[in-house]
Structure 1
Amino acid sequence: MTRFRWSRVAWLLALLLCAAGHAQAGVMTRDDLRKAFPPPLSVGEIDPQLPVWPIFKQDVTSPILAGYVFESIDFAPIPGFSGTPLNLLIALDPKGSFLDVRVLSHHEPVFLEGLGEAPLFRFADQYKGLSLQQNIKIGSNANRGEERGSANVYIDGVAKATASVRILNQSLLASALRVARAKLGFAGGQDPDQIARVRRDTYAPMEWGTLRQAGLVQHLTITQGMVEKAFEDSGVELPVAGHADDVFSDLYVAYLNAPSVGRNLLSEAGWQHLLGRIDEGDHALLVIASGPYSFVGDKFVRGAVPDRLTLKQGDLPLELRDLDLDDPLTLPASLRGADAKVFRVIGPAGLDPSHALNFALRVTREKGMVYPERISRSFAMPYVLPADQVMLPESDDKGWQGIWRSRAWELGVLAAALALLAVVLARPKWIVATPSRLARFRTGYLVFTLVFIGWFAQGQLSIVNITALVQALVAGRDLAFFLHDPMTVALWAFVAATLVVWGRGTFCGWLCPFGAMQELVAQLTRLAGIRRIKLHRDLDARLKWIKYGVLAVIVGLAAVSPSWTDSAVEVEPFKTAITLGFVRSWPFVAWAAGLLLLNVFLYKGFCRYLCPLGAGLGLLGRVRLLRWIPRRSECGTPCQTCRHRCEYQAIKPNGAIVYEECFQCLDCVAIHDSPQRCAPLIAKGRARTIAIRPLPVWAGSEA
């Protein structure tokens, strides 16, 4: 029997592993791609080394390469918010621009019967025409009026789906960069998110000579003799121009991002102007040339790319574009008439300031008279920024740090609120001193939970978090996708800690936005005089087992079928009521509204009997270390006050607390500490007030 059971388990695990492996493979065939890219485009054979398909367009005589098409899941299977990777169809042209971006599949809860898929498709469509060389940012389209060819572009996000669209963005860029590096030579294998950064604390006043001695300004002299030697085997006759030792071109290069360079070569106003002209991650490089030959050609225009000067880093070609700055430079007298330009290299290009920058000045000569042949020679000038000017990347994590920085103030507010709650729950005596004080604090905190944590910050924890974890573990995926939702991570960290200390009640009673909504609705209906139903304790106890069955079904489905899981998790009304604010199709709105109506008559019926997340927290809460609710020997025998007052029916007739069903409302704590409400304390108080006095002696009576 045991062998049979283990064989079934092994067979199931093998099936799950196969399914997980299949889930990370592309689904498109060549015939599918031909339909997606009809004539005049044609789809070639798949690359034997990478799952990439070339796309061609017909020229007059022969087809020419139009780009490459691939699926993101083959290169960056980053789990979405549900734990299952999005799969995108991406087409790149030979220069790294997006020809097309389409969503092939996803399991993002907010777009499944929530907002609908249309906002997701519109979001992906914004990438068409953008380039990997641009800094693509999600937010308000602040440069909507600018050309899409600018260095920085903003694409519109999707409200209430911030984590999902950021994961899509990361999947898109990570997979596209891998293909661009392999097929287009883009970034030479360097990850733009893992480059060194220039230190901002290195400023010290320095003059030109000191900057050169420190290696912050580097110099190359090209002589006439060096040029003649470079062309001596080319057949080009060079005009005789002086002696071999004469200067042909004097080049100076400086990295202006370093404060020790930029603040010394520019005025303070010029330094601030430069910082305002470049974006985070961009690089500003000063190039100065004196002598007969400059890096600025006769056809150069301001704001353009120089045709005589090139820059590479390893195998990575980098575009230099004139920033068109007119701010005066602090230069020695010998260079004040020289050509000086400040060039920008945009951040997404992948330049790493800790590695050598290989500048090259190209000199071109013509050979022949009728149809002259142009022959060029390049003169290399390496520039290495001193090591004390840069900070190396601290880790390999990427993609989510910016999200945490952008939501720092929200996390700060949440941290303060959680600290306050922890203090109150650890030392509740002051709050429970009077019923009105506890009621005011609890109502205020529940309003904060609903409005700020729920509707504003979108911090509703959900069974989806657990199913995402299960699916990621089954498929062997990284769990870093959770970091794209800082509020969820912060709340789970607090909930995990409080599960160990107090159990389930901290989240379910104080931090669940839908739970807060139910309780606030119940308070309003109580003021309206609507009476609630209280079930017999035996029926209540049996109904509370339902949520554990719901949890088992959902977790089981999560291990075998993402699509079924997407439907099963809809038992939770959280997405409808909190994430989408009831803006959803009518069946889901009816379900959420029905549960709120049930709550009017059967207090928090969903939380107590159906909530799979509550069931999961109840199970995890069994590791609780404290029996933190005070009890007396009279509790349950004979006193039943707390049990009758407990709205959650989490107290047994013998007075014991069922912590797995306790919502930590503090009502029983308030009763326990109240001389006016706790029956044992009332009895003791009465006993203390009965004084034994002698009988009065009347006048004339016997002594």
Structure 2
Amino acid sequence: MPFFSLFRAVTLFYLLQLSGAAFAQVSDDQMRTIFPKLTRVGQVLENSDVTPVYQLDQLLGYVFETNDLTDLPGFSGERINLLIGMDAEGVLVGLKVLNHHEPIFMHGLGERPMIQFINQYEGVKVDKRVIVDSRHSGQNQEGSSTIYIDGVTKATVSVLVINDTVLASALKVARSYLEGFTQPPSVTVREDVFQPYNWRQLLDKELLRYWPLSSAEMAGGLPIALDDYADSEMQQALDESDTPGRYYYAYLNTPVTGKNLLGAEDFDRLQTVLRPGEHALLVVSTGSFSFLEPEFRRGTVPSRLGMSQNGLPVDIRDLDFFDTRVPMLPSDAPELAQVGIFRIKAQSGFDPSQPVTLSLNLDLARNHLIRDQAQLYDSYQLPVDLFDIQVIEEVKPVPLWQRLWLDRWLQIGGLLLALLIVTAAFVWQHRFSSYSQLFHRTRWGVMLFTLFFIGFYAQGQLSVVNIYTLLLQLKKGFDIQVFLLDPVLFVLWTYVFITLFLWGRGVFCGWLCPFGVLQEIVGKVAKVFKLRQVKVPPVVHARLQKLKYLLLLVLLASAFWSVSLAERLAELEPFKTAITLTFVRSWPFVLYAVLLLGIGLFVHKFFCRYLCPLGAGLAVLGKFSLFHWLHRRAECGSPCQLCKVRCDIDSINRDGSVDYDECIQCMECIVILNNKDQCAIELSQSKQKQRSRERQGEIPAQQL
């Protein structure tokens, strides 16, 4: 009873740890570790989860969590949530891990290599191309558009997911809030379209828009007459004209408008003032009512004048272009009361070839307590022949899983070759096993290839952790991309799943499990040194076989309670220590793996037979296999017990039948069966025939 109470307490502790990590709020102190000069945290930006941070009134940059901006699953199937700080120039200044479930970092290499990896992004500007490649690390040249950073051995998939997560989220923020990070526009100005026009001709060609507003139009949206307002500016405008609002506006980026309206010198100067992707709008007034509010300050966003496109606001800001200079407008231009040029930022998504709406926002004082508002609009579209309009399809990056498949073609090819040989061995197993020497060489060749190429090199060790991922994906919505991230595991799991329903668990357990091969090698060493094997009593053997099924149930149940706890319990498997990390790990894990292999010197494949939860899971599915191709003879089990005695895994019953739930398909029994010089029944029958022929005098006795 105390044991179960302790177990529940420990499990609850891990569950609370997991929940806390998943839902913890980012504190000001965490932000300050990224921006030490931070004195003020701004409000979270509207329609996003990006937080601006300031030193007094100076913008230092933005802080954001990657989970709010990307949806890239890691190797575990869960996203890797990072806290990222980026300055106002688009440079990454700090990254911190908030939450992750990557097994290789949680229970393998530890989190230190992960932290060292993400620290390499500090100082990287997000407009750079970042490549994870240790072979070229240190070759980054100043001014180069490509930066190479070191990966993490044994954690290829995880670090590539982190790389995509960092760059995708940071670039998304930069494109939304920073200048110079917009995508190339789909509309470009035609520089070759130009012809000298005066003011009147620009109006006739609809290159310049005239927007007159009479007092009646201005009063149309207001509850009382204009004369009743206490606004001195409005009253003065009404005294001067019945059309107080007379405005002209034009798009200046095209030579035919900009050069004709500003003159060649000022047009060229405008091109140097505007940043890449930005636009300029000229607004002038000949009436007495200004398009700018009386308290307007140069270089800021006007509140009276507004602009929109496709129902969305377009931010315009005074460029303060002329300052003290006098505009050189066409000679036939009317006498102007006011001139302004406004900048439209690249991030606004403005398309000059589409209709645009200019608005005049009236805010008039009825008295010192009451104010009324009204909005007046004018729509306008430039001739489309001023632009090259291209339908630019967004170039989406190649999905990570596709890049991984292309990069690992050698590993995939080697694995497919091995699977082809194994398939042939099973399809023609009886014909093949009749050549015992060739069969043994082939099987050992496949097993050594499994250990060194599939296991150590390609990291193709299947694990019960993969079953966790599958079950959790089925629970929350299956996403095949999670499994495609590791092509070797995907191909191997697909093959094992299919062959489970053909020949059972033995295809994997006896031929394609790297740790299983390691145990086979230990067993071979025991035979070479003639170490005495411990014979497990049948009753104890039968009970121990059920232990792995109990362990499987516990592990699967824990996965639905707490993924973090389940991953810790999965350390029951020594696969990560022995194969993935090649024994380069802390001593308790290494001691455990070595101890299991040491027991295997005296009890053949001890872990496989009694403790392996993965083998138990495969055995459950293997019950539905279509074929039991390990043929038996009538004499097998009665009287012959040779195959049972030689079966190292002890999966042949006394009656000669095969226990396919435990059999690893080493095929040693059918090698004996299909070779007359090994099968006891064949040898006995051969001797009987020899004696019979001798008694009949057909052969001399000395030939016996």
Fold in common (TM above 0.5):
yes
Alignment pair present for 1:96 and 2:90: yes
Q: Which amino acid aligns with 1:152?
A: T
- Does structure 1 retain, via aligned residues, the 8 Å contact 2:154–2:580? yes
Q: Which amino acid aligns with 1:681?
A: E
Q: What SS does the aligned partner of 2:403 have?
A: helix
Match of 1:616 in 2: 617
How far does residue 444 in structure 1 lie from its aligned partner after superposition?
A: 1.4
The within-5 A match list for 1:295-694 is 310-311=276-277, 368-369=324-325, 382-383=387-388, 398-476=399-477, 478-689=479-690, 690-691=692-693
Q: More displaced, 160-169 or 465-474?
A: 465-474
- Aligned partners of 1:245, 1:186: CA distance in 2, in Å? 26
- Does structure 2 retain, via aligned residues, the 8 Å contact 1:37–1:43? no
Match of 1:319 in 2: none
CA offsets 1:622-653 (integer angstroms, 9 cap, x no match): 22111121122222222222111111111111
How far does residue 670 in structure 1 lie from its aligned partner after superposition?
A: 0.6
Q: Which amino acid aligns with 1:55?
A: V
Q: More displaced, 478-487 or 497-506?
A: 478-487
Q: Which amino acid aligns with 1:519?
A: E
How far does residue 92 in structure 1 lie from its aligned partner after superposition?
A: 2.5
- Aligned partners of 2:125, 2:258: CA distance in 1, in Å? 41
- Does structure 1 retain, via aligned residues, the 8 Å contact 2:526–2:602? no
Alignment pair present for 1:167 and 2:161: yes
How far does residue 519 in structure 1 lie from its aligned partner after superposition?
A: 0.8
How far does residue 384 in structure 1 lie from its aligned partner after superposition?
A: 5.3
The within-5 A match list for 1:71-110 is 71-110=65-104
Q: Which amino acid aligns with 1:425?
A: F
How far does residue 598 in structure 1 lie from its aligned partner after superposition?
A: 0.8
- Aligned partners of 1:21, 1:596: CA distance in 2, in Å? 37
How far does residue 396 in structure 1 lie from its aligned partner after superposition?
A: 10
- Aligned partners of 1:179, 1:49: CA distance in 2, in Å? 12
Which one of 204, 211, 225 corresponds to residue 197 of structure 2?
225
Q: CA RMSD in A?
A: 4.4
- Aligned partners of 1:24, 1:223: CA distance in 2, in Å? 63
- Does structure 2 retain, via aligned residues, the 8 Å contact 1:79–1:85? yes
Q: What SS does the aligned partner of 2:85 have?
A: strand
Alignment pair present for 1:49 and 2:21: no
Match of 2:119 in 1: 125
Radius of gyration: which is bigger?
Answer: 2
How far does residue 36 in structure 1 lie from its aligned partner after superposition?
A: 5.3
How far does residue 438 in structure 1 lie from its aligned partner after superposition?
A: 2.3
Q: 1:693 to 1:517 in 2, by over 3 A?
A: closer
- Aligned partners of 1:176, 1:477: CA distance in 2, in Å? 27
- Does structure 2 retain, via aligned residues, the 8 Å contact 1:603–1:648? yes
- Does structure 2 retain, via aligned residues, the 8 Å contact 1:231–1:377? no
- Aligned partners of 2:622, 2:19: CA distance in 1, in Å? 34
Q: Which amino acid aligns with 1:538?
A: V
Q: 1:180 to 1:376 in 2, by over 3 A?
A: closer
Q: What SS does the aligned partner of 1:223 have?
A: coil
- Does structure 1 retain, via aligned residues, the 8 Å contact 2:65–2:81? yes
Q: More displaced, 429-438 or 158-167?
A: 429-438
Q: More displaced, 224-233 or 641-650?
A: 224-233
Q: 1:649 to 1:382 in 2, by over 3 A?
A: farther
- Does structure 1 retain, via aligned residues, the 8 Å contact 2:523–2:601? yes
Match of 2:9 in 1: none
Alignment pair present for 1:138 and 2:114: no
Alignment pair present for 1:69 and 2:57: no
Q: 1:636 to 1:382 in 2, by over 3 A?
A: farther
- Aligned partners of 1:615, 1:453: CA distance in 2, in Å? 22
Q: 1:680 to 1:42 in 2, by over 3 A?
A: same
Q: 1:515 to 1:297 in 2, by over 3 A?
A: farther
- Does structure 2 retain, via aligned residues, the 8 Å contact 1:135–1:152? yes
CA offsets 1:215-267 (integer angstroms, 9 cap, x no match): xx99843233389947999999xxxxxxx999989xxxxxxxxxxxxxxxxxx
Q: What SS does the aligned partner of 1:558 have?
A: helix
CA offsets 1:664-700 (integer angstroms, 9 cap, x no match): 111011111111222333344345442498789xxxx
Q: 1:382 to 1:548 in 2, by over 3 A?
A: farther
How far does residue 509 in structure 1 lie from its aligned partner after superposition?
A: 0.8
- Aligned partners of 1:52, 1:364: CA distance in 2, in Å? 30
How far does residue 98 in structure 1 lie from its aligned partner after superposition?
A: 1.8
Q: More displaced, 557-566 or 109-118?
A: 109-118
Q: Which amino acid aligns with 2:196?
A: Q
How far does residue 494 in structure 1 lie from its aligned partner after superposition?
A: 0.9
- Aligned partners of 1:692, 1:560: CA distance in 2, in Å? 74
The within-5 A match list for 1:170-181 is 170-180=164-174
Q: What SS does the aligned partner of 2:125 have?
A: coil
How far does residue 143 in structure 1 lie from its aligned partner after superposition?
A: 6.5
Q: 1:693 to 1:564 in 2, by over 3 A?
A: closer
The within-5 A match list for 1:178-217 is 178-180=172-174, 182-184=176-178
- Aligned partners of 1:136, 1:685: CA distance in 2, in Å? 73
Q: What SS does the aligned partner of 1:54 have?
A: strand
- Does structure 1 retain, via aligned residues, the 8 Å contact 2:194–2:256? no
Q: 1:470 to 1:635 in 2, by over 3 A?
A: same
Percentage identity across paired residues of the two chains: 37
CA offsets 1:465-494 (integer angstroms, 9 cap, x no match): 112223344455745222221111111111
- Aligned partners of 1:521, 1:120: CA distance in 2, in Å? 34
Q: More displaced, 74-83 or 514-523?
A: 74-83
How far does residue 97 in structure 1 lie from its aligned partner after superposition?
A: 3.0
Q: What SS does the aligned partner of 1:28 have?
A: coil
- Does structure 1 retain, via aligned residues, the 8 Å contact 2:32–2:38? no
- Consecutive unaligned residues of structure 1, counting only runs of 5 or more, are 1-16, 197-216, 237-243, 250-291, 300-304, 314-362, 697-703
- Aligned partners of 1:101, 1:442: CA distance in 2, in Å? 49
How far does residue 368 in structure 1 lie from its aligned partner after superposition?
A: 4.8
Q: 1:437 to 1:377 in 2, by over 3 A?
A: closer
The within-5 A match list for 1:17-28 is 25=23, 27-28=25-26
- Does structure 2 retain, via aligned residues, the 8 Å contact 1:129–1:148? no
- Does structure 1 retain, via aligned residues, the 8 Å contact 2:647–2:668? yes
Q: Which amino acid aligns with 2:602?
A: F
Q: More displaced, 46-55 or 402-411?
A: 46-55
- Aligned partners of 1:530, 1:452: CA distance in 2, in Å? 29
TM-score, normalised to structure 2, is 0.68
Q: Which amino acid aligns with 1:586?
A: W
Q: Which amino acid aligns with 1:669?
A: I
- Aligned partners of 1:478, 1:165: CA distance in 2, in Å? 20
Match of 1:208 in 2: none
Q: Which amino acid aligns with 1:509?
A: G
CA offsets 1:441-480 (integer angstroms, 9 cap, x no match): 1221111111101111111111111122233444557452
- Aligned partners of 1:440, 1:513: CA distance in 2, in Å? 17
The within-5 A match list for 1:286-301 is none
Q: 1:588 to 1:82 in 2, by over 3 A?
A: same
How far does residue 606 in structure 1 lie from its aligned partner after superposition?
A: 0.6
How far does residue 186 in structure 1 lie from its aligned partner after superposition?
A: 8.7
CA offsets 1:558-596 (integer angstroms, 9 cap, x no match): 111122223201111111111111111100110111111
Q: 1:309 to 1:447 in 2, by over 3 A?
A: same
